Chain A
């Protein structure tokens, strides 16, 4: 089936750089997405990688290696407001074309 693994928690200090890793297993891989969710809020889309390499959007970058079934989200110049949960999600075709989310990584940014 489809599955994803990501760390449950990461802590970093304001201004630093943090990397959140995600490994996945799926058939018929289409792409890897990242979502941010603040406490009490709805998940919001951050980035999507369908091909190998790095995608940059402001302070956030996302990387994908299809051969390693691995990706990461890189957050630079961390701000307190970046404290949130981050979910990787894989779009694949295992038992049907669908998007499956990981359990999420809780990021704590300290002053």
Chain B
């Protein structure tokens, strides 16, 4: 079974621009979560989607948004980029049975650099 894939793997943008990141979950997984990872801050929860519905949202400004498609693929968008948005953005998927153990399968991440 193929793992979680994220595209692109690396991205360089300038302040004020917007960016869209993509995540393809493991086949059959309906839940997709997004996290921002910066050194010393761990993984900060952005949002979680399940069957095209946003189930939960973290404490990030409205510039961060996401969506999920009917095939469970998910995208997140960051508008009006700021230098502080430079981070590794991780996507994780989980299947219905994984909810019992809260197991999430992470993709390799997209490294976003804002100049």
Residues of A within 8 A of B (CB): 8, 30-31, 33, 41-45, 48, 50, 87, 89, 91, 96-104
Residues of B within 8 A of A (CB): 4, 33, 35, 40-45, 48, 55-58, 90, 92, 101-109
Q: Are B103 and A99 within 8 A (Cβ)? A: no
Sample of 19 more A-B contacts, CB < 8 Å, known A48-B102, A99-B104:
A8-B40, A31-B102, A33-B103, A42-B4, A42-B107, A42-B108, A43-B92, A45-B103, A50-B101, A89-B43, A89-B102, A98-B45, A100-B45, A101-B42, A101-B43, A101-B45, A102-B42, A103-B40, A103-B42
Q: Are B102 and A96 within 8 A (Cβ)? A: no
User: What total count of A-B pairs have CB within 8 Å?
Assistant: 56
Contact of A91 among B35, B55, B58, B102 (CB under 8 A): B102
Q: Which residues of B contact A89 (CB under 8 A)?
A: 43, 102
Per DSSP, chain A at the interface is: strand
* Residue from the set A31, A48, A101 with the largest chain B CB neighbour count within 10 Å: A101
Q: List 28 A-B contacts (CB under 8 A).
A: A8-B40, A30-B102, A41-B108, A42-B90, A42-B107, A43-B90, A43-B104, A43-B106, A48-B103, A87-B42, A89-B43, A96-B56, A96-B57, A97-B56, A98-B45, A98-B48, A98-B58, A99-B33, A99-B102, A100-B45, A101-B42, A101-B44, A101-B45, A102-B42, A103-B40, A103-B41, A103-B42, A104-B42
